[in-house]
Amino acid sequence: MRKKLKDDEIRKIYAHGNSLGVTLPKELTNDLKWRKGQKLVLKKHGRGIVISDWRE
């Protein structure tokens, strides 16, 4: 059985120029210490994605 999602966990995909975008909750980015302009790594995982901090 799938768990019930809270409203703050649901996001819509929006158009951003020739790309698509998704917003992240401020509380989540604060907890992860992510900031505007930070590079992130996106990897496909099954039918979802994993987003992690980019490190050289």
Mean pLDDT calculated for residue range 10-39? 94
| Neighbour-count burial for 10-34, b at 16+ CB within 10 Å, e otherwise | eeeeeeeeeeeeeeeeeeeeeeeee
pLDDT at 40: 96
pLDDT per position as a tens digit, 37-52: 999 999 999 999 999 9
Q: How confident is the model at residue 8 (pLDDT cuts 50, 70, 90)?
A: confident
